[in-house]
């Protein structure tokens, strides 16, 4: 079925699409203002913008059920206003950045498992090479439904030998991280769905117990996987560079310097991080 949706507050779907397009696994069409979302049930849902920043409306095509529609609303944060958050930041040093990127939402990952795999693959690598590795991973082990790439099942990756990922140019350690975590998930030792109900602290403790998951990866999972509002990954080089630029430093800020100054942004640290990343990303629309 197709559903029309109108929001009573500002929401910039085109900016959301720009960010989604940064991940080559995603199927985004900027001209048609839409993205294709693979669902757990195996179908593909298309979300397309039909409105504007201040009068946002959408058509959601191909949802099977009310449950699927709720999931789409959850993924795109359709039922929470960004306007209050923008007001919060208007009183901080991030005001110019929030004005520039007004209405940019925190879109959740389409797959919790995919978010974890992506995070580990991206660790310590420049974006372009990290995305090459990610696409090799998805093309080799994932599937393609109607032209839309879908992350593999953890059960598949759990059986992959380290040497096979080495052929894709994974480091040995990175291969071990990806396989080990997939084994834990496939064997139900780690239940990603259950993390939805747990606190930020509980999720961090549970995830960082695994090799390959440190603070940065756990915070990224909370922010983009679960959509939690108050995380700021101080280990992130992109955020360090964004703050170097904002604060006009001649070097990257230390993690302590970042923590000392981000209290004003709480309880929306995730949005501060999101908008800071945007502030140093080149916009293909401009």
Summarize as ranges the residues that interact with DNA (CB under 7 A). Answer: 22, 122-130, 132, 166, 169, 171-174, 208, 210-218, 235-239, 241, 252, 273, 277, 281
For residue 32, how many other CB atoms are within 10 A of its CB? 11
Residue 11 CA to residue 30 CA, distance in Å, equals 16
Question: Known catalytic residues?
Answer: 236
Min dist CB 121 to DNA, Å, is 10
Smaller CB distance to DNA: residue 39 or 276? 276
Residue 143 CA to residue 153 CA, distance in Å, equals 9
For the chain, how big is the Rg over CA atoms in Å? 19
Smaller CB distance to DNA: residue 32 or 126? 126
Smaller CB distance to DNA: residue 164 or 281? 281
Question: What is the DSSP pairing of strand 27-29 with strand 57-61?
Answer: unpaired
Min dist CB 137 to DNA, Å, is 14
107-142: burial string, b at 16+ Cβ within 10 Å, e else? bbbbbbbbbbbbbbbbbeeeeeeebbbbbbbbeebb
CB 145 within 8 A of CB 42: yes
Smaller CB distance to DNA: residue 21 or 53? 21
Min dist CB 286 to DNA, Å, is 17
Min dist CB 13 to DNA, Å, is 18
């Amino acid at each position: 079925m197709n559903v029309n949706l109108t929001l009573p507050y500002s929401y910039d779907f085109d900016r959301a699409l720009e960010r989604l397009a940064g991940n080559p696994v995603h199927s985004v069409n900027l001209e048609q203002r839409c993205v294709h979302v693979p669902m757990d049930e195996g179908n593909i849902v298309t979300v397309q913008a039909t409105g504007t920043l201040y009068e946002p409306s959408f058509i959601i095509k191909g949802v099977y059920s009310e449950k699927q529609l709720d999931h789409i609303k959850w993924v795109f944060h359709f039922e929470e206003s960004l306007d209050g958050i923008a007001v919060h930041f208007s009183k901080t040093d991030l005001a110019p950045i929030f004005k520039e990127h007004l209405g940019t939402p925190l879109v959740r990952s389409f797959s919790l498992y995919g978010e974890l795999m992506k995070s580990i693959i991206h660790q310590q690598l420049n974006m372009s090479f990290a995305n090459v590795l990610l696409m090799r991973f998805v093309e080799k082990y994932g599937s393609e439904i109607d032209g839309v790439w879908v992350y593999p099942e953890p059960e598949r990756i759990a059986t992959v030998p380290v040497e096979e990922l080495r052929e894709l140019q994974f480091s040995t350690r990175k291969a071990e991280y990806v396989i080990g975590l997939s084994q834990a998930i496939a064997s139900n030792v780690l239940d990603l769905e259950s993390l939805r109900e747990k606190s930020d602290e509980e999720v961090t403790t549970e995830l960082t117990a695994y090799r390959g998951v440190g603070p940065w990866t756990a915070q990224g999972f909370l922010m983009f996987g679960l959509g939690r509002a108050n995380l700021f990954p101080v280990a992130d080089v992109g955020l360090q560079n964004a703050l170097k630029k904002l604060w006009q430093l001649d070097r990257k800020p230390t993690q302590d310097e970042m923590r000392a100054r981000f209290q004003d942004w709480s309880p929306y640290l995730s949005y501060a991080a999101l908008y800071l990343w945007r502030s140093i990303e080149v916009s293909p629309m401009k």
